[in-house]
Amino acid sequence: MNPQENEQTQLLREILKWIKFAGMKQVKEVLTSVLNTPQKALAYQFSDGTKGIVEVRNATGIASNATISAYWKSWLKLGLGENVAVKGGERFKRGFDLEDFGMEVPLVKKATSEEKKSETPEPLKEEKQTSQSVSTERPHVPKEPEEGSDA
């Protein structure tokens, strides 16, 4: 690389840095508005170009491939990512990492086969126990002594 190309490359990197900085607030607003459910945020974060629709659907618990496909199309139109060519078609690759914008990425909980066999999820079992142990009787509150009494 000759000195002029190197100088141009450095200048382009500097311009890119400032453009990214200037647009951060607007991008975060769009991401927050569009990814308005934990499932959408998770689907967006998982859409890194390496995972197909089925993988994203399974990881997020979204019911259908068509829903993921619709998300990808709308995010593409908004400029939130790009399509990448893969064997057999294209998939969406997000343009931003939500964590870079201070946005929380929902956790993925993969159910084990034992959890799937369980009839009642743990939180519900705890709620049942709690509701059974709650008494409907009023607690006894001692009376305060009246003024002038020696009690």
* Residue at 151 is within a domain: no
* Residue at 12 is within a domain: no
Q: What is the total count of domains within the chain?
A: 1
Determine the structural domain holding residue 109 and report its residue range: 35-127
- pTM, full prediction: 0.64
User: Phi/psi at 119 (nearest 5 deg)?
Assistant: -70, -40
* Residue at 115 is within a domain: yes
As given in the structure block, the two tokens for residue 70 are 């619709």
pLDDT score recorded for residue 70: 97
Residue 47: burial class (beta carbons within 10 Å; 0-12, 13-18, 19+): buried
* Residue at 51 is within a domain: yes
pLDDT score recorded for residue 140: 44
pLDDT score recorded for residue 107: 74
Residues 81 and 92 sit within 8 Å (Cβ to Cβ): yes
pLDDT score recorded for residue 41: 95
pLDDT score recorded for residue 112: 33
* Residue at 48 is within a domain: yes
* Residue at 16 is within a domain: no
Q: How far apart are the first and last CA of the chain?
A: 96
pLDDT score recorded for residue 32: 95
* Residue at 5 is within a domain: no
List, as one string, the DSSP characters of 33-69: HH--SHHHHHHHHH-BSSS-HHHHHHHHT-S-HHHHH
pLDDT score recorded for residue 39: 93
Report d(CA 64, CA 104) in Å as an integer.
24
pLDDT score recorded for residue 38: 93
Report d(CA 7, CA 1) in Å as an integer.
10
Question: From start to end of 54-111, where are the E strands?
Answer: 81-86, 89-94
CATH of the domain at 80: 1.10.10.10
pLDDT score recorded for residue 118: 36
* Residue at 2 is within a domain: no
pLDDT tens digits in sequence order for the chain, 151 residues long: 677 789 999 999 999 999 988 888 999 999 999 999 999 999 999 999 999 999 999 999 999 999 999 999 999 999 999 999 999 889 999 999 999 888 988 776 543 333 333 333 333 333 333 333 333 344 444 445 455 545 4
Evaluated on CA atoms 23, 44, 42, 68, the torsion sign reads positive
